[in-house]
Structures are given as C-alpha cells and as structure tokens.
C-alpha cells in the first residue's frame, strides 16, 4: 500500500499534469486567437484596398464621362448639368451667374488650310489656355460644340466677367498660333460674348446661353478678336 507521502506526490503530479495540460490548451487557444486576428487583419486590409481601387475606378469612369475627349475640358453634358444646378442655386440665393461663350475666329479656314490634325491641336491648345484662366473651384470651362467653348462663372458680376473675358482673350493671343487666313489678324484669336444674370422665376438656363450668344454675334460682327457684353 502507498503511504501518505506517496499519495501526496501522486496527487501533486496529477495536479501538475492537469495544470500543464491547461496551460498548453490555453497557449493553443491564444495562438489560434492570434492567428485569427492576423487573418482578420489581412482580410480587412484586402477589403479596404479593394474598396479604394473600386472608388478610384469609379472616379476615373465618372471623370471620363464628364470630359471632352479631344480638348480635355468638360463636355457639353457636364456643362448642361452644372449650369442647371448653378441656375437653381442662384435662383434661391438671388446671386448672379456669369457666362462667357467664345468661338475661335475663322476656324473653318484654319482647318481647310492647315489640315484637321492642326485644327485639333489648335482647339486643344485654346481650350487649355482658357482653362488656365478660369480656375476657381466653382468655375467651369467646357466644350460647347465644334470650336465653341463656354465658361461658367457662378457668383460673378459683370466686372468679374469682364476681367475673366479679357484674360481669356490675352491667353489665346499669347499662344501665338499662326493663322494667315483669319479675317481678324494673323494669329488664332477668339470672339467672346459675356453676361452676368441674376435668374428670375420666369427664366431658364437657356436664357443665359442665348444672352451670351447674342453678344458673341456682336463680337463677330464688329471685327472678331474681342469681348462684347452689357455695359458695366
């Protein structure tokens, strides 16, 4: 028979073995928990990265849908949407909308004599020159159609439109693109019609475009290479 010392030793050994077993199980549990945390962290990182790539792809597609492929400025659709938005906002706040509508002088003669590739390059350079002037965050430069470019200038009165319009004239002249067939001068120039209008309830965004177009027509009739707008 075992004596009491032997029984105590056996019990102690058994308790020690149980404790070691519990410690090993606990370590295994901690290891599994750490592994799960690592895997979860990796999954979260992959998800965030995937979301970022998806957001970037969406932004790129959205930018392409709003950009004119030739000139790199906003397209007509994005301009129409922006004008409608700014018109509604100006109608509520009773603030002015400035607008410049410009046309490259004698552009058909430029295309006919220098070729369409040169014409496309000219249009790109003029568009970028205009955009370099119209650069406030709420402003927009867009290709309105053909060789016409439009500048949307929210919260801008007549004096502001006048300054921007003249800066556009200077920026295009500074390109110094030869145009021996122009009826205005011997370099590429633009004619501009400018307006600043506080929208009324009986008006539509089209009325602002029509008003600017009327002044653009006057610029062409009076020799081109100029800005025409209502008196300050």
Token digits for 26?
């606990």
DSSP 95: -
**Beta pairing partners, 129:** none
Rounded Cα distance between 195 and 96, Å, is 10
Phi, psi of 206 (to 5 degrees): -60, -30
Most distant pair of Cα atoms in the chain: their distance: 128
DSSP state of 94: T
Instruction: Please identify which of the residues 86, 147, 210, 221 carries the catalytic annotation.
Output: 147
Is 42 designated active site? Answer: no
Which residues does 105 contact at the CB level (< 8 Å), separation at least 6?
A: 179, 182, 183, 184, 188, 189, 190, 191, 220, 224, 225
Say if residues 34 and 41 touch (Cβ distance below 8 Å).
no
Tokens 């600017």 belong to residue: 212
Structure tokens given for 223: 């020799």
Which tokens in the block code for residue 105? 């002088």
212 contact partners, CB below 8 Å, separation of at least 6: 99, 100, 101, 150, 193, 194, 195
Q: Which residues are catalytic?
A: 147
């Amino acid at each position: 028979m075992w004596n009491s010392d032997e029984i105590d030793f056996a019990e102690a050994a058994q308790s020690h073995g149980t404790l070691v077993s519990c410690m090993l199980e606990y370590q295994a549990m901690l290891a599994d928990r750490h592994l799960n945390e690592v895997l979860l962290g990796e999954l979260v990182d992959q998800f965030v990265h995937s979301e970022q790539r998806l957001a970037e792809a969406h932004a790129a597609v959205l930018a392409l849908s709003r950009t004119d492929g030739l000139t790199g400025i906003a397209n007509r659709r994005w301009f129409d949407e922006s004008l409608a938005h700014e018109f509604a906002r100006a109608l509520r706040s009773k603030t002015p909308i400035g607008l410049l509508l410009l046309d490259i002088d004698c552009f058909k003669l430029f295309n006919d004599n220098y070729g369409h590739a040169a014409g496309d390059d000219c249009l790109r350079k003029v568009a970028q020159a205009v955009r370099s002037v119209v650069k406030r965050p709420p402003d927009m430069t867009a290709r309105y159609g053909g060789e016409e470019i439009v500048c949307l200038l929210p919260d801008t009165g007549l004096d502001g439109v006048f300054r921007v319009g003249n800066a556009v004239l200077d920026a295009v002249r500074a390109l110094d693109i030869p145009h021996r067939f122009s009826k205005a001068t011997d370099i590429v120039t633009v004619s501009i019609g400018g307006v600043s209008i506080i929208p009324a309830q009986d008006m539509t965004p089209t009325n602002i475009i029509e008003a600017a177009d009327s002044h653009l027509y006057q610029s062409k009739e009076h020799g081109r290479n100029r800005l025409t707008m209502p008196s300050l």
